[in-house]
């Protein structure tokens, strides 16, 4: 077990340094186990799996109860397996007996995820429901608690753009560092809106495209569609333009698709699908 990254064996001798001090940087899951205990053997692989998946966001400290009766008595361990969660030098959770993986993930997420990661799922759900106003209010409350969190402000700017409150979004972006997490999404969305302002409307562009297929018109239509938050339709138009003439206007279709991918953000399923389709066509 010692060879696994972020997993250590703990005794009374290294408890202070490897548990208490370590917990000031990341949460430490203190696992009490016995090799001969069936429940311990069944539970250990679950913890090891989570250690690997969370990639250093927490540390697993294992205590063999046969060799460490002093720690067992001091920390009042009554059953196996027992996991005590130590964070910032304090015990924040005491889990007795086998635990469901889903419950462990929920606990770890609360301890290790950034504020923007914690609320992004809730925000995404509100946006899917069409309630951007509630999502904006949630972000504003979070920012009032963490006024220096640039990622939250960038997320708010992006939602404001989607609600056509572009001037408010511009003011927020102007106050953020250029490399702030998530700023590219809002900036790209504003860029599409600015570009669309000088183009004909969607209906007119669709008519032009029906009359004569053209990569330029397809790209212009895609820009208009993105500004109207019709992202997948826009990507289809860009893919069509790419297939018609990959090198048109200095790779404009490909470059525009990449901007849309940035707008959608890392891990977005639609971005992954269309990035794969673009790559397949180009190569």
Please check whether residue 135 lies inside any domain of the structure: yes
Whether residues 30 and 108 fall in one domain: yes
Q: What is the 3-state secondary structure (H, E, C) of 162-230?
A: HCCCHHHHHHHHHCCCCCCCCHHHHHHHHHHHHHHHCCCCHHHHHHHHHHCCCHHHHHHHHHHHHHCCC
Separation of CA 160 from chain center:
20
Whether residues 73 and 104 fall in one domain: yes
- Residue ending a domain, among 112, 134, 164, is 112
Res 255 pLDDT > 90: yes
Q: How far apart are CA 59 and CA 40, in angstroms?
A: 18
The number of folded domains in the chain is: 3
What's the domain range around 37? 7-112
Whether residues 107 and 144 fall in one domain: no
Average per-residue pLDDT in the chain?
A: 92
Whether residues 223 and 174 fall in one domain: no
Task: List pLDDT tens digits, range 48-106.
Answer: 999 999 988 999 999 999 999 999 999 999 999 999 999 999 999 999 988 999 999 98
When pLDDT is cut at 50, 70 and 90, the band that residue 271 belongs to is very high
Structure-model confidence comparison of residues 135 and 128, the more confident one: 135
Q: How far apart are CA 154 and CA 85, in angstroms?
A: 33
Res 160 pLDDT > 70: yes
Res 115 pLDDT > 70: no
pTM of the full structure = 0.61
- Residue ending a domain, among 112, 133, 162, is 112
- What pLDDT, on the 0 to 100 scale, is given for residue 266? 78
- Residue ending a domain, among 124, 153, 182, is 182
Q: Tokens at residue 93, please?
A: 């959770």
Res 268 pLDDT > 90: no
- What pLDDT, on the 0 to 100 scale, is given for residue 122? 85
Q: How far apart are CA 78 and CA 69, in angstroms?
A: 12
CATH number of residue 269's parent domain: 1.25.40.10
Please check whether residue 187 lies inside any domain of the structure: no
Whether residues 156 and 131 fall in one domain: yes
Whether residues 16 and 93 fall in one domain: yes
Whether residues 234 and 138 fall in one domain: no
Res 175 pLDDT > 90: yes
Q: For residue 124, give the nearest of 269, 235, 275, 237 by alpha carbon.
A: 269
For residues 220-249, give the mean pLDDT: 95
CATH number of residue 57's parent domain: 3.40.30.10
- What pLDDT, on the 0 to 100 scale, is given for residue 125? 87
CB 62 within 8 A of CB 10: yes
Q: How far apart are CA 169 and CA 4, in angstroms?
A: 46
For residues 126-132, give the mean pLDDT: 90
Residue with tokens 């297939």: 243
Whether residues 125 and 102 fall in one domain: no
When pLDDT is cut at 50, 70 and 90, the band that residue 28 belongs to is very high
Whether residues 50 and 140 fall in one domain: no
Q: How far apart are CA 175 and CA 154, in angstroms?
A: 10
- What pLDDT, on the 0 to 100 scale, is given for residue 120? 77
Helix 215-227 vs helix 183-197: crossing angle, to nearest 10: 120
- What pLDDT, on the 0 to 100 scale, is given for residue 121? 77
- The percentage of residues in the chain with a pLDDT greater than 90, rounded to a whole number, is 77
Whether residues 120 and 105 fall in one domain: no
Q: How far apart are CA 165 and CA 172, in angstroms?
A: 11
Which residues 6+ apart lie within 8 Å of 241 measured at CB? 215, 216, 218, 219, 222, 248, 252, 253
Res 1 pLDDT > 80: no
When pLDDT is cut at 50, 70 and 90, the band that residue 281 belongs to is confident
């Amino acid at each position: 077990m010692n060879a696994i990254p972020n997993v250590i064996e703990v005794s009374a001798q290294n408890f202070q340094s490897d548990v208490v001090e370590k917990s000031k940087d990341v949460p430490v899951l203190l696992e009490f186990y016995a090799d001969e205990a069936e429940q311990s053997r069944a539970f250990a692989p679950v913890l090891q799996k989570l250690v690997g998946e969370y990639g250093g966001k927490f540390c697993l400290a294992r205590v063999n109860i046969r060799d460490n009766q002093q720690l067992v008595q001091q920390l009042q361990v009554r059953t196996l397996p027992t996991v005590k969660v130590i964070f910032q030098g304090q015990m924040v959770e005491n889990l007795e007996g086998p635990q469901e993986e889903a419950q462990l993930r929920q606990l770890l997420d609360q301890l290790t995820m950034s504020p923007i990661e914690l609320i992004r799922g809730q925000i995404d759900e509100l946006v899917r429901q069409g309630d951007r106003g509630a999502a904006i209010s949630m972000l504003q409350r979070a920012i009032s608690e963490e006024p220096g969190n640039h990622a939250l402000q960038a997320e708010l700017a992006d939602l404001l753009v989607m609600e056509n409150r572009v001037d408010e979004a511009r003011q927020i972006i102007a106050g953020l560092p250029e490399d702030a997490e998530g700023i590219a999404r809002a900036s790209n969305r504003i860029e599409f809106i600015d570009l669309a302002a000088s183009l004909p409307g969607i209906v007119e562009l669709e008519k032009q495209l029906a009359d004569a297929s053209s990569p330029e018109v397809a790209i212009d239509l895609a820009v208009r569609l993105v500004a109207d938050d019709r992202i997948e339709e826009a990507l289809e138009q860009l893919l069509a333009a790419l297939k018609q003439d990959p090198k048109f206007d200095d790779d404009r279709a490909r470059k525009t698709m990449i901007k849309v991918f940035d707008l959608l953000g890392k891990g977005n399923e639609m971005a992954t699908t269309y990035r794969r389709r673009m790559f397949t066509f180009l190569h």
